[in-house]
Structure 1
Amino acid sequence: MRLRRSLATAGLVTSAAMTLLAVAGCGDGSGSDGSAAQDTEQGIPDDWDGPVPDPLTGQPAAGWIDDDEFAVITMGSGSCPPVPSEPEVTSPGEMRIEFGPSPNEVCTADMSPTTHVFTLPAELIDRPITVTIAYTDYDEMYELELP
């Protein structure tokens, strides 16, 4: 009886440890990876009505969440999404966000969308807003529009 109880306890401890490792490894978009996004979510939100990124070209997409928040959806490894910097306002209707490499060391070789949610900087008062997306890993930049 004591052996069964010990095995059951060991199973619970192992299960709890595995859950803790899974949570610690995945991240919750809270910036623990250096991200300036207020939230990061794997995939595309179910209620997303903005443009969808093209997985073949890797071009990101940007759209509104509400009046004060917008999102940028990037394509890349699902386990190592790029990490955004704080949006830099370059004029009353333009901003730039630079994405750096993920700090994760083991990455899947897939092409998955990741949604990065940001609060709209108060200095952006003109519409439409041009969002320039740059990556530190390569030279190509993308200009996206928030209508």
Structure 2
Amino acid sequence: MRKARTFLAASLIAMTCLLASCSSSGVADSRTQGVPDGVQLDALSESPAVVAYDDGSLDVVTLGSGSCPPRATGIEVNDDQIVVTFEPSTNDVCTADISPTTHSFSADKVGWEIPDKALIVFTDFDEPVEVDVIRG
């Protein structure tokens, strides 16, 4: 009985760690399914979207598998654009849907001044995507 309890406890700890690593938002403050409240995106667009707010925070909306969203690994502001880098998910099993995921960054991470252009870099694609920043 004691071995069974120990095994069960160890299994639960391992699963919790695995789920925590799969749900990592990377350098983003948070990562949630869907688009930010009040933001309308073009339904036919496959491009990411960047939404800047008056308080200096920023949301980046990516499209892809709902169970395997990319992980933000870098954010920096150059003079005329903000650059956000994403790595692919490390999940083994992914759904074949195209759903939005919002990656939120605080003003402290962004630097308060958000340019009008953003460059979104997906490390698993050859070309970065340049988009206009939406003011929310």
TM-score by length of 2: 0.71
Change (3 A) 1:140 1:28: closer
Q: List structure 1 runs of 4+ shifted beyond 6 angstroms.
A: none
Deviation of 1:28 after TM superposition, in Å, equals 8.6
CA distance in 1, matches of 2:52, 2:67: 25
* Pairing 1:75–2:63 present: yes
CA deviations on 1:85-111 (whole Å, 9 max, x unpaired) are 2211111x4210111111111111100
Contact 1:26 1:79 in 2 (8 A): no
Counterpart AA for 1:83: R
SS at match of 2:39: coil
Contact 1:53 1:59 in 2 (8 A): no
Give the one of 102, 106, 115 matched to 2:102: 115
SS at match of 1:137: coil
Contact 2:31 2:104 in 1 (8 A): yes
CA distance in 1, matches of 2:132, 2:73: 17
Residue number in structure 2 paired with 1:25: 19
**Gap runs ≥5 in structure 2:** 1-7
Residue number in structure 2 paired with 1:10: none
> What is the root-mean-square deviation of aligned Cα atoms in Å?
3.2
Contact 1:85 1:99 in 2 (8 A): yes
CA deviations on 1:49-105 (whole Å, 9 max, x unpaired) are 234254x442111213551311011100001001112211111x4210111111111
Q: What is the number of residues matched between the two proteins?
A: 126
Change (3 A) 1:53 1:97: farther
**Gap runs ≥5 in structure 1:** 1-12
Change (3 A) 1:78 1:26: farther
The equivalences for 1:1-147 within 5 A come to 21=15, 24-25=18-19, 31=25, 35-45=26-36, 48-52=37-41, 54=43, 56-65=44-53, 67-91=55-79, 93-120=80-107, 121-122=110-111, 125=113, 128-138=115-125, 139-147=127-135
CA distance in 2, matches of 1:29, 1:39: 10
Asked which structure has the greater CA Rg, the reply is: 1
CA distance in 1, matches of 2:31, 2:91: 15
Aligned identity (percent) is 33
